[in-house]
Structures are given as C-alpha cells and as structure tokens.
Structure 1
Amino acid sequence: EKKASSFARPRTPVLNPDVSKYEEELADKAQRVRELLAGRIGDVELQVFASPPLHYRMRCEFRMWHVGDDIEYAFMDPETKKPIFLDQYVLACERINLLMRELKEYLKADEMARKKLYQIEIVANTEDEILLCMVYKKPLGEEWVECAEKMSEKLRCHIIGRSKKKKHVIGADHVVQRYEFDGKSYPQWQTENHFSQSNAHICKQMLTWAREQLGKDGARDDDLLELYCGNGNFTLPLSVIFRKILATEIDKFSVQAANICAKEAQVNNVVIVPLSAEEATEAVRGSRAFQRLQGVDIDSYNLRS
C-alpha cells in the first residue's frame, strides 16, 4: 500500500488556525524534514526560521460568490466542490483584510463593479501599497473604467480589470516590495498572475541566510548562474557578493521587472537572458548558439556557483 506523503496539501484552506499550536507544528515539520533527508546530507543541524503565525501572506485569491444582490468571498472545497465563505482571511496581512472589508461594502452598493465579477487576486507589500485584480465574465468598457477609477480612489488601491482578451489598468499594474541589506534597498515588482514570495517576513530571512552562506560583499571571485530568477528576488541582493551574475528567466514581464529594479538599485553586474534551463546548459557548454544571447560573452563568465 502506497504511503501518503506527510507533506500533502490540506484538502481545504486553513481559515482559523490555532496559534497556540504553531511552535509544536513547526517543530513537527522540522522533524519530518530531518527524517526525509536522513542519510542524504549527513549530520547537518537544521536552521529553523519561524514565521508570524497570522497575517503573514502578502497575496491571496478568492472566488466571488453571488447571492442575489449580495456577494461573498469564497474558497472552493476541492473535495465537495462547494464554496466555503469567509469575511476575513487571518493568514493575509492586515492591509489585505482591510481591503476585503471595504471592497465588500463597495461592491454591495455598486452594481457596475459587482455584476459578473468572478474572481479577485490581491497583492500587497510591507508598505501597505496594494493591487486588486478583478476578473469578470463580461466585457469591460469605458463605463467600467470610470467606475474602477472611482473605486481605486475610494479604496486607495491600484486596480487591474480583466475580461476575455482585455486588460484595463487603473494606477499601476504592480506593487514594489523592498528589502534592505547593509543600508542598500533592493526593489522588486510584484503583480497578479506572476510568482512572488507570499511571506515577506520569511523571504527576508531567506535572503539573509543566502547572503550569509555566500560570504561578505565582494568576497567571491567567481560568477553566479541563476536559473529562473523570476523578478530578481535573489538576484539583486546577491549581486554585491559575486563578480557577475548571469540569470535566466522565460517570463517576459519578470525579465522586464527585474531589469528595471536592477537599474533603480544601481546593480550593473547582472545580465538576465530569456533562456530555459536546458537552453542555458547548451549555451554555457557552447553546444548551441542563441540569437537571444547576442552581446553576451558567455566565455567571460567564471560560472562556478
């Protein structure tokens, strides 16, 4: 009989966690990791980093459930296929919960904003800047844009409206999350429908840990090859440690965002190229030439990391 993975996802989202059990659950997870890695990495002591047990998520997504003129936030239970309704989401940051309260009241009073609204995604940063993406099952015209402009001002958020083959942006299409190390700020763009670290507290600890393992700024005489760098979350904070970084990413928005953030942070030793992991391997080995690498001297990199 096949044993179920101890890391299987819960069948339904945790809506009301018991905070008093957090330390116990974290210790249990650490022990499962030790058992999983036993005999593979030797006798290595795990470093365990705790997250705030509540209000740590900086992004979330909800279905919007219509009952007459009323509207509810919902998760779909993957087992029963029935909606689970909620007014607040205590795992999300305080700013997201505030927007959830204000948005629900706004939608109840505004039919244009409410009608045919199917799903929302919310992305926030640690400075309380927030982006609301609204997905509709109806065309969005100028009347909706005027409605969204008022809603954006009232709710103090950027808004993206999506319908079939259409996208309207009110304000900005992203928020900027910043992490500071040794007095230098590293920005990163975060937006809907693109991956970013959802737990900003743990992300800062991840970056701090990675920097500590690699040494002091300027300590390395080699270059880093980073595959699928995303929005540059690790790329930019690690740039001061390495001589140069060659990073790859296939998502066009992420490449654009990372390059803009690198320029803002005055990071000049990073090159981001649109290659897959397999293509990057071929390029580094010299077994295949890519037009996308025009102007990039692969042979000048000492890629030992």
Structure 2
Amino acid sequence: MNCKYFGKCGACVVYDGGYEYQLSLKVELNKDRFRPFYGGNISVFKSPDSNYRSRSEFKIWHMDDEIHYAMNNIDKNGVVLIDECPQVSRPIYVLMPKLLKAIKDNNIDFKLFGVDFLSSNSKEIVVSLLYHRSLDAAWKEIATKIAAELEIYIIGRSRGQKVVAGQDYITEILKINGSEFRFNYIENSFTQPNSKVNEQMISWALENLSDTDSDLLELYCGAGNFTIPFAKEFRKVLATEISKSSINAAKTNMGLNSVENIEFVRMSVEEFVQALDGVREFNRMKDIDISSYGINTIFVDPPRSGMDEATCNFASRYENILYISCNPETLARDLAILCKTHVVNDLALFDQFPYTHHAEMGVKLSKKG
C-alpha cells in the first residue's frame, strides 16, 4: 500500500519495508511469544495490502471555511489532515470526497466533528455523522436528499439522539468454503473490520472443529459471526453473550441464513457457569434443556482482556477448545492455564490490522492423553 501520509498519520505505525515485511515482524514476534506452548509453524492468513477496512472512523476538522477529514498524528500530538485513505474499502474510498463536498454544499457541517463509515462486500454503505448539536427535521430532509444522491444510508448522531435517513444497517455477504452467509451489520455496533480476513478466520475455525457429530458450546458469541457457520456443522449450538443488542442481531442473522439449531442465552460467562453447575437458577435458562446437549467442543472469542482464570478452568472441562483472540498477550496468559490440561494442535495468525502491531490469533487445543 502506498500512502502519502505514512510517517504522519497514526493509523499506520509499521510501514517501512512494505506489507510483507511488517507481516513478517508480527509472525516472528508471535513465534517467540507462543514458543512455550507450540513448536510448530504458525498458519498465517494475509490481508489485502490496501482497501481492506470495511469499517473506519475519521475526525472532521474545521479550518477557515472548509472542512477536512483528520486522523491523530503518529506522535499523538495534534492531527494530520487527509483527503484520502488507502486503508478503507474501495466503496468508502470513492465516497469520501463526494460526501465531504455534499455536506459542505448543503450546509450541514455546523458542529460536525466526526464521520464513521461501514461498508459491505456488495458496496452498501452506512455513514454516521457525529455532531455537537441537536438535529432537527430540516437536517433529516437534507440528509435524506444526500443519501439518495450518493446511494448510501446516513445516520445523524448527537448526544441522546439518533436520526436515520434510510436504514441503520448493511447486509454483508461472507463467502466461506463455497457457501454464502448473510449478516446484518448495525451501525455503531461491533463488526469485524477486515471482511476478507474474517472469511479466512471463519474458514480456519471450521477446518479445526472437532467432533461435529456432537454439540458445540460458544462463549462471547456476539452477533453470530462464527456461530451461524458453525451451526451448519453441529447437531446443536448453545451460545452465550452478555449484550442484549448482540443477541437480538444474532437471532436476526439466524433467520437470514435459515438456521434453526442455535439457542442463544443472554448471560455473562460467570452466570452461565453457575447455572450449568447448579449453583444458581436463572430465568433466562428456564427454557433450555441442558441435559439434551452432548458437548465435547467449546469455542471462545473473548474481548481484549481475554478470559479470567475461572473461565479458563471451565473451558478446560471440554475435550476440544477453539480460541480466537484479538490480543496475543492475554492469549499467552490464558494458554499458561489451558495447557495444564490441553495441548496446542494448531496456531494461526490473522492479519486483521495491517501496518500496525496488532494481530488476531487462533488456537486449537485438545485434551492431553
């Protein structure tokens, strides 16, 4: 990727030597990090080297009578004004200058401080315009006109206010192992930022699933990014997630994919373990017959903080563990517990965030002996 803001913009901090070199640094770092747990080769899944981000956020900077996109400076001292970003998906890249011009021409830039983009592989785009002022009917009328002209959806946000011009979601189509899966991605909710790497990540996970004649338990299921493809392989899936909006989105995505063999439970991992062990009874579990499940495999995709010791010990009960991590440091910490009972069979690196130090990791573990 060639970017005229390398060395200035803080979005990319590892850029010398090009894409292959920055990726090699991540691979070597994580070979060393995970050597106590795994001596084999790391499976490496590359990103496109440009136009890979389907979700992006920019500041809006007002200067004289003009507005500009802006990012934090690489030294975190002020901002750098930009007029393009080769990180973002091609539809977002093309839209950026058109959107800025439309905002200015239609005089809806007053107290605008940020723009968020969310795009799909089918080129749908939701744009969120962030304001330090309340938005009225006149604003919505103008935003609706701009949305129609640019063939996008626009959301206006200010404190305590959300104004929708069109709809607040896109429908993403992921192609995985010859099959297509559809997901509604809602504005201002978590989605995987790199759709091509996400497809590779799900494919890797599917290939590493074990004992698919039984049932699967998934913790931290989110909106069903992994859950729904997994459901095609298992008899039944029991999935937990603490976020109510994520559970609702996951149920919608079940319908989009004609999947019926998933039961979602809105509970924290701690609550779920208590329910499973009979320590406490929860209303949210009253319609779920735990005794009907035969679970040998557990899948976890925790937040950056990883899993706590109690959750690691709970996961260790199962024959097979599949772990996706967005933070290699906490993954290494958790493996120190998991590898007391399990052995690592495969380790993968997914380059979700090129030109940064971040890497997504995947680990397949099976019980010793």
Q: Output the amino acid matched with 2:64.
A: G
Partner of 1:4: none
The CA deviation at 1:184 is 3.8
Q: Is the 8 A contact 2:222 2:243 kept in 1?
A: yes
The CA deviation at 1:151 is 1.0
What are the ranges of 5 or more consecutive residues in structure 1 without an aligned counterpart?
A: 1-9
What pairs up with 1:221-260 in 2 under 5 angstroms?
221-260=213-252
Partner of 1:5: none
Q: TM-score, normalised by structure 2?
A: 0.74
Which residue, out of 78, 82, 87, partners 2:83?
87
Please say if 1:175 is aligned against 2:170: yes
Q: 1: CA distance between counterparts of 2:47 and 2:177?
A: 23
Aligned residue for 2:44, secondary structure, equals coil
Aligned residue for 2:274, secondary structure, equals helix
Which residue, out of 62, 73, 81, partners 2:69?
73
- CA-to-partner distance for each residue in 1:106-153, whole Å, 9 max, x for gaps? 122121x21111111100011100000111111111111101100111
Please say if 1:276 is aligned against 2:268: yes
Q: 2: CA distance between counterparts of 1:116 and 1:290?
A: 46
What pairs up with 1:89-238 in 2 under 5 angstroms?
89-111=85-107, 113-181=108-176, 184-214=179-209, 220-238=212-230
Q: Output the amino acid matched with 1:21.
A: G
1:205–1:236 CA distance, 2 compared to 1 (3 A): same
Partner of 1:6: none
What are the ranges of 5 or more consecutive residues in structure 2 without an aligned counterpart?
A: 1-7, 298-369
1:142–1:114 CA distance, 2 compared to 1 (3 A): same
Aligned residue for 1:62, secondary structure, equals strand
Q: 2: CA distance between counterparts of 1:16 and 1:302?
A: 46
Q: 2: CA distance between counterparts of 1:188 and 1:31?
A: 34
The CA deviation at 1:294 is 2.7
1:91–1:78 CA distance, 2 compared to 1 (3 A): closer
Tell me how large the CA RMSD over aligned residues is. Answer: 2.0
State the number of aligned residues.
Answer: 290
- CA-to-partner distance for each residue in 1:35-59, whole Å, 9 max, x for gaps? 0011222x22211111111110001
Q: 1: CA distance between counterparts of 2:203 and 2:76?
A: 42
Bigger mean CA deviation after superposition, 23-32 or 174-183: 174-183
Which residue, out of 38, 41, 46, partners 2:42?
46
Q: Is the 8 A contact 1:223 1:245 kept in 2?
A: yes
The CA deviation at 1:180 is 3.1
Aligned residue for 1:168, secondary structure, equals strand
Q: Is the 8 A contact 1:61 1:120 kept in 2?
A: yes
Q: 2: CA distance between counterparts of 1:206 and 1:167?
A: 33
Q: Which has the higher contact order (CA 8 A, sep 6+)?
A: 2
- CA-to-partner distance for each residue in 1:140-177, whole Å, 9 max, x for gaps? 11111101100111111111111121111111111111
The CA deviation at 1:284 is 1.9
Partner of 1:26: 23
Q: Is the 8 A contact 1:283 1:298 kept in 2?
A: no
Q: Is the 8 A contact 2:56 2:117 kept in 1?
A: yes
Partner of 1:285: 277
Aligned residue for 2:260, secondary structure, equals coil
Task: Show structure 1 runs of 4+ deviating over 6 A.
Answer: none
Q: Is the 8 A contact 2:183 2:256 kept in 1?
A: no
1:221–1:286 CA distance, 2 compared to 1 (3 A): farther
